[in-house]
């Protein structure tokens, strides 16, 4: 019974992983995307019949905060589907994996498989969101420095933003700046576009960037000076974050050290002594005390 359980568990993870990877291979088709960009792929979940089925099944759950979290993650990852369609994916995985394991193994494992199938997309979405935020955090100070240099060279903020987006290598932060430019080009104000970016990303550094630009615009402060101060603060914050990670690394190393390395050392060092002691070789007379 153990081997089928292992096989089914592997199949559950692989099925959920491939489904979510397939969904994340698409990009959201928006009205303000570049015309020269690639045409969006055909997505099954964009079909009207599938959307109507999703709305019919998940209509009672539309007011749940959980759907708001799913929608925020889908928007940040630029998935071609929303929270309702993600719920349909989770429900299909839950029902499909639950029935398969129920038939192949046992009813108890079928319930476990159903729960795993429902929660697996959340795990994959969260890991993708965290990875994208870390990638954005790694390039944020350099991008702010380039914006500062462009503004110092005589460009205004929008021209500097456009130059950075066009000349920089693709990365998550440049992607968000491109969305800001596209939203401004269709009529949204710069303040609203920056605030929408901060709401999508939900990162303290991006919030500071947005707040700096908005306050500089309102109060008439030089954006170049504000960005220079922001860049210095961001680099100091990243340095302090690296120090925290270094301190935590030493503490985390204690767990494998105590569980894996220390027992082996004890066996190697104390093992021969214990064997000789149990055999009486360490006590004169084979461990028998003569009168």
What is the C-alpha to C-alpha distance for residues 176 and 138, in angstroms, rounded to an integer?
A: 14
What pLDDT score was predicted for residue 37?
Answer: 44
Q: Are residues 62 and 151 in the same domain?
A: no
The answer to whether residues 6 and 118 belong to one domain is yes
Is the distance from CB of 145 to CB of 121 less than 8 angstroms? no
CB 233 within 8 A of CB 208: yes
Among 105, 132, 159, where does a domain finish? 132
- Shared domain check, 161 and 68: no
Residue 282 lies inside a defined structural domain of this protein: no
The answer for 58, left when phi > 0, alpha when psi is -120 to 50, beta otherwise, is alpha
Which of 40 and 56 is assigned the larger pLDDT? 56
Chosen domain end from 193, 218, 239: 239
**Would residue 280 count as lying in a domain?**
no
| Position 256 in a domain | no
pLDDT at 163: 92
3-state secondary structure string across the chain: CHHHHHHHHHHHHHHHHHHHHHHHCCCCCCCCCCCCCCCCCCCHHHCHHHHHHHHHHHHHHCCCHHHHHHHHHHHHHCCCCCHHHHHHHHHHHHHHHHHHHHHHCCHHHHHHHHHHHHHHHHHHHHHHHHHHHHHHHHHHHHHHHHHHHHHHCCCCHHHHHHHHHHHCCCCHHHHHHHHHHHHHHCCCCHHHHHHHHHHHHCCHHHHHHHHHHHHHHHHCCCHHHHHHHHHHHHHHHHHHHHHHHHHHHHHHHHHHHHHHHHHHHHHHHHHHHHHHHHCCCCCCCCCCCCC
The predicted pLDDT at position 34 comes to: 42
32 and 51 both lie in a single domain: yes
User: Which is nearest to 72 in space by CA: 201, 240, 205?
Assistant: 201
Task: With respect to residue 270, please indicate whether it lies within any of the assigned structural domains.
Answer: no
* Domain stop point among 132, 148, 182: 132
Tell me how many domains the chain contains.
2
Decide if pLDDT at 32 tops 60. no
Residues 115 and 158 in one domain: no
- Domain with 154, as residue range(s), is 135-239
In a domain, 248, yes or no: no
Q: Are residues 77 and 172 part of one domain? A: no
**pLDDT digits 0-9 by tens, 176-228:** 999 999 999 888 888 899 999 989 888 888 888 888 888 888 887 778 888 88
Residue 264 lies in a domain: no
CA atoms within 13 A on the CB side of 3: 0
- pLDDT exceeds cutoff 80 at 112: yes
If asked whether residues 39 and 91 sit together in one domain, one would say: yes
Residue 155 and residue 96 share a domain: no
Supply the CATH number for residue 226's domain. Answer: 1.20.81.30
Domain match, 7 and 126 both: yes
Q: What is the pLDDT of residue 243?
A: 85
Q: Are residues 71 and 156 in the same domain?
A: no
Residue 272 lies in a domain: no
Q: Are 78 and 32 in contact, with CB atoms under 8 Å apart? A: no
169 and 229 part of one domain: yes
Alpha-carbon gap, residue 44 to 122, rounded angstroms: 20
Are 50 and 35 within one domain?
yes
- C-alpha to C-alpha distance for 281 and 268, rounded to whole angstroms: 18
Predicted confidence at residue 33, as pLDDT, reads 40
């Amino acid at each position: 019974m153990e081997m089928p359980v292992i096989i089914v568990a592997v199949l559950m993870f692989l099925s959920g992983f491939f489904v979510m990877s397939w969904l994340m291979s698409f990009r959201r088709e928006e009205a303000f995307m570049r015309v020269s960009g690639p045409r969006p792929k055909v997505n099954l979940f964009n079909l009207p019949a599938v959307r109507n089925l999703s709305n019919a099944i998940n209509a009672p759950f539309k007011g749940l905060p959980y759907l708001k979290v799913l929608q925020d993650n889908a928007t940040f990852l630029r998935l071609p589907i929303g929270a309702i369609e993600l719920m349909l994916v989770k429900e299909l995985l839950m029902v499909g994996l639950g029935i398969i394991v129920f038939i192949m193994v046992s009813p108890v494992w079928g319930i476990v498989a159903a729960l795993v199938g429902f929660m697996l997309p959340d795990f994959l979405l969260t890991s993708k969101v965290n990875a994208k935020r870390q990638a954005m955090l790694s390039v944020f100070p350099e991008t702010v420095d380039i914006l500062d240099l462009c503004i110092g060279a005589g460009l205004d903020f929008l021209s500097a933003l456009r130059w950075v987006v066009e000349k920089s290598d693709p990365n998550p932060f440049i992607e968000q700046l491109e969305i800001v430019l596209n939203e401004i080009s269709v009529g949204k104000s710069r303040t609203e576009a920056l605030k929408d970016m901060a709401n999508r990303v939900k990162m303290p550094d991006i919030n500071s960037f947005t707040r700096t630009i908005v306050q500089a615009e309102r109060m008439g402060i030089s954006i170049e000076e504000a960005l220079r101060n922001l860049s210095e603060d961001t680099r100091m914050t990243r340095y302090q974050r690296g120090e925290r990670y270094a301190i935590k690394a030493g503490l985390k190393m204690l767990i494998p050290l105590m569980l894996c390395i220390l027992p082996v050392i004890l066996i190697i060092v104390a093992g021969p002594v214990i064997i000789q002691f149990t055999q009486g070789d360490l006590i004169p007379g084979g461990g028998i005390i003569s009168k």
